[in-house]
Amino acid sequence: MHLSDLQSKDIVNVNDGKKVGRIIDCDVSLDGKINFLIIEEKRGLSNILNKDVTTSISFNQIKKIGTDVILVDL
């Protein structure tokens, strides 16, 4: 699986069912393992006022990668 495959999926928090945002980048260790995904948070008023609203999700917070969605525990 490529990062571009992950970028096309919706990211949903399993605790409240809300969309978190979309993957814009990732941090990879020297041995090739993904440390965390960098997420651009869902568009809203805060994103209009502050264009760099990002958060990171560690790879162990990912609960399931499906065909259309990535479920995360935040």
pLDDT value of position 43: 61
For each of the domains in the chain, give its residue range(s) and CATH number, in order of start. Answer: 3-72 (2.30.30.240)
pLDDT value of position 5: 85
Distance of CA 41 to the CA centre of its chain: 8
* Contact partners, residue 22, CB within 8 Å, separation at least 6: 7, 10, 11, 39, 40
d(CA 69, CA 74): 15
d(CA 12, CA 18): 6
d(CA 55, CA 37): 8
Q: What is the pLDDT of residues 47-59, one digit of tens each?
A: 556 566 788 899 8
Q: What is the pLDDT of residues 10-36, one digit of tens each?
A: 899 999 999 988 888 899 899 988 899
Residue 65 pLDDT more than 70?
yes
